Amino acid sequence: MKLIMENWRQYLEEDVGGFTAEYQLFIPRKCPDLKCEPSKLSSAPPVENRSDLNKPIGGFWTSTANKSEIWTSDWNEWMKYNMPQWMHPKGILLRPKTDNVFHIENNHDAKLLHEEFPLEFEGPSFSFSAFSGPSVHNIDFEAALKKHDGYDGIHWGMKDGGHSHSSFGRSGMWDVESTVWRDASVLEVVEIVEVAQREASDDIY
C-alpha cells in the first residue's frame, strides 16, 4: 500500500505542491465583540463528505491573500457584495507550513484526485449544480485530507490565486478560489490585518 501511494505521489507531482501562493487569508464571521483571535483557529470541525455537493463541509477554509492598499482575497471580495452581513473588519494572515497541497485548476486535475480518492455512492449522486449537471468526479474529501495518508489541503482555483471556470468548481459550488485544509495546524499565523470592506459608494440605490 505504501508503494502504491508513493507511485501515485510521483505521478501527481505536478499537482502536489503546485499551489505556491505565499499567504492565505482567513476571515471569521462577525461576532458581537468583533474580536479576531488566532486561538479560535484550533476549533475547525472535521472534514466530512456530503452527497448533495462535490465539496466538503468542515475543515479550515482560506483564500489566497493579496494586497494593494489593504489585504483582501477572492473570498473577501465575494463577501463584500454577496454576503456583507458575514463581513468581519479583520482577518488573519497565514503562511502555509506545508506544500502537501493538491491543486485543482481544471477538470483533468479533478479527475486525477478522483482516481486517487473516489467517492462512491450506494444510490445516485446528487452532486450537481444548475449550471453543469451531475459531477463525474466526486471526491472522497475525508480520505483525501486524512492525516498521514492524505493531503494537508486541497486548493481550487488558479495557482497564483484567482477563479477557475472548470465544471468541477461549479458542480461543488466552490464560489471562489479557496483552499480547504484538514485543520489550521499546517498554517502559521503571521498577523491580524484589516481587510477590504464594501464602500458606501458601491451601494446601488
Residue pLDDT, tens place only, 108-159: 898 999 999 998 765 545 554 444 555 678 899 999 999 988 999 999 887 7
Would you state the cell numbers that stand for residue 143, as one nine-digit string? 480520505
Highest mean pLDDT among 19-28, 164-173, 194-203: 19-28
Task: Give pLDDT, residue 89.
Answer: 83
In the chain, where the domains are located: 2-199
Quote the CA–CA distance of 145 and 48 in Å, as a whole number: 10
pLDDT exceeds 50 at position 15: no
The closest alpha carbon to 186, from 32, 7, 19, 34, belongs to 19
pLDDT band at residue 93, thresholds of 50, 70 and 90? Answer: very high
- The pLDDT value recorded for residue 80 is 87
Task: Give the model's confidence band at 52: pLDDT under 50 very low, under 70 low, under 90 confident, else very high.
Answer: confident
Q: Which of 19, 16, 41, 59 is nearest to 146 (CA)?
A: 59
